Amino acid sequence: MTAREWGRSGLARSLLAFALVAAGARDGAIAAEAAAPDDPALAAAVEAGQSLYLRNCRVCHGSKGTAGVPLAGNPKVRVDSGYLVNAILTGPGYMPDFAAALSDEDIAGIATFILNSWGNDYGPVTVDEVSGMR
In this predicted structure, the answer to whether residue 75 has a pLDDT above a threshold of 50 is yes
| Position 42 confidence tier, pLDDT thresholds 50, 70, 90 | very high
Domain architecture of the chain: domains with CATH: 3-28+36-133 (1.10.760.10)
Instruction: Name the phi and psi angles at 34, rounded to 5.
Output: -110, 140
What are the helix and strand counts (H, E) for the chain? 8, 0
Residue 73 has a pLDDT of 85
DSSP 117: B
pLDDT above 70 coverage of the chain, percent:
72
Residue 9 has a pLDDT of 62
Determine contact, residues 53/113, Cβ cutoff 8 Å.
yes
Q: What is the pLDDT of residues 7-41, one digit of tens each?
A: 566 665 555 554 444 444 444 444 445 455 678 98
Mean pLDDT of 42-56: 95
